[in-house]
Structure 1
Amino acid sequence: MCGRFAITLPNDAMARLFTAAPANDLPDGPNYNVCPTTRIHVVAGSEGGRRLVGMRWGFVPRWYTSMSDGPLLINARAETIAQKPAFREACRERRCLIPVSGFYEWTRDSSGVRWPWYIKGPDTLALAGVWQNWGRGGESVESCAIVTTAANAAMSPIHHRMPVVVDRADWGLWLGEEGHGAARLMRAPDEGLLRFHPVDRAVNSNRASGPDLIAPVSRDNPEPSQ
């Protein structure tokens, strides 16, 4: 599962990092509380080279008559993505990278209280994604979903699912620039890649914003447990 994340890298730095041509209407940043249905930064391949564009986070299948015609598809499971009607064509033809500075997950204590954690790498993470161009009645939108897989041992105390993180050396393969073989990338990252720390419960609100959301906080129960 990946249902909330942060992106703090400026647009021009993001374009340089991914060697991508930036669109003119990229989302504003930084954003420390990116929520589903938000327009997010996406790196997609094209015949003219990589492009950095804004897409709706919430994949809209072609057969939806409106963007809210069915379930909100923010994640696509790696184990079934090639078989699911919503994702199987995009998995073959429209893979993308979603830059994030880190993402959030939650655990619950014995009282049912949700406690947030911020998970990050040593640098900007490139999450595996798939995208779709949907249109009805003159309305058109590009939308995407994050590919997830079973959590590795380091992540599993917080959540049983995690995003697929694509190593920099594999960006071209995932984007379809280097032939076939992208399926092998849909796995959990090495256990040493990600670090996590508890953050303030303010992030439980999708209206919260600001850098304090990712700042470490002290807790009486600092160790994650589900």
Structure 2
Amino acid sequence: MCGRFAVTLPDDAMAALFDALAANDLPDVPNYNVCPTNQISVVTSDEGTRRLRPMRWGFLPHWYKTPNGGPLLINARSETIAEKPAFKAACRERRCLITCTGFYEWTKTPEGQRLPWYIYRADGAPMVFAGVWQDWRARDDSGDEFTTTAIVTCAANDPMSKIHHRMPVVLEPDDWGKWLGEEGKGAATLMRPAADDVLDYFRVDPAVNSNRAAGAQLIEPLDPSEI
């Protein structure tokens, strides 16, 4: 699963990373505490032209009458994405890339205290998730319209399973074109856990337990004396 993440890469660097044309209304970065329903920067491909675009994190199926018309769909399970009514069309036709510096996951003590962990690429490179997206328009008089997205998740690899049983699908650069549909079929083969040596993690301050927390200190390793 992925319920919170951090983005520190500037817009121009993100566009260069993907060789994408950047929109002029991208969300502000850095953001060390990206939460569901926030706007995030997402890469799509239109006939081979990649575009870096803002989207609402929280997928809205077309039948939702309002943004709160059903469960908040921030993740899509790889095992069922091709069959679930909410995601099956997007899985075939509207795949995207979502980049971050790292993401957060939580474990619990026997007493129920939530302990946050920060997960990042061991090689220091930006992390890129598989995603799907959907345009949505309100079915009432509000006139609301959103372009929305969800992160694809899979079973955790062995290191990640010590923290959580799920993890985002992490794509390597050679896989980006296939996931975006630029290289024909085969995207389904990419929905697998990252190799065991791709990610690393450390404990961070419980301040990030609040979705209002902000600042670079959120991704700093917790002092061993405080663990």
Contact 1:105 1:117 in 2 (8 A): yes
CA distance in 1, matches of 2:33, 2:226: 24
* CA drift at 1:47: 2.4
State TM-score, norm by structure 2.
0.96
1:134-173 per-position Cα deviation (integer Å, ceiling 9, x unaligned): 1125322100000000000010010000000011001000
Query: What code does the residue aligned with 1:192 have?
Result: D
CA distance in 1, matches of 2:174, 2:193: 16
Query: What code does the residue aligned with 1:74 have?
Result: I
* CA drift at 1:190: 0.5
* CA drift at 1:220: 6.0
In structure 2, the residue matched to 1:143 is 148
Contact 1:76 1:146 in 2 (8 A): yes
1:205-226 per-position Cα deviation (integer Å, ceiling 9, x unaligned): 000000000000134696xxxx
In structure 2, the residue matched to 1:90 is 90
Query: What code does the residue aligned with 1:165 have?
Result: V
1:72-126 per-position Cα deviation (integer Å, ceiling 9, x unaligned): 0000000000000000000000000000100000000111100000000021011
Local SS of the residue matching 1:83 = coil
Gap regions ≥5 residues in structure 2: none
In structure 1, the residue matched to 2:219 is 214
CA distance in 1, matches of 2:48, 2:135: 18
The alignment status of 1:128 with 2:130, answered yes or no, reads yes
In structure 2, the residue matched to 1:3 is 3
In structure 1, the residue matched to 2:102 is 102
Query: What code does the residue aligned with 1:206 have?
Result: N
Query: What code does the residue aligned with 1:6 have?
Result: A
In structure 2, the residue matched to 1:119 is 119
Query: What code does the residue aligned with 1:131 have?
Result: W
* Identical-pair percentage: 61
* CA drift at 1:27: 0.2
The alignment status of 1:72 with 2:72, answered yes or no, reads yes
CA spacing shift, 1:73–1:64, aligned 2, 3 Å: same
Query: What code does the residue aligned with 1:109 have?
Result: T
The alignment status of 1:170 with 2:172, answered yes or no, reads no
State TM-score, norm by structure 1.
0.96
Equivalent position to 2:207, from 189, 199, 202: 202
CA distance in 2, matches of 1:46, 1:189: 27
In structure 1, the residue matched to 2:20 is 20
Ranges of 4+ aligned residues in structure 1 off by more than 2 Å: 136-139, 218-222
Local SS of the residue matching 1:156 = helix
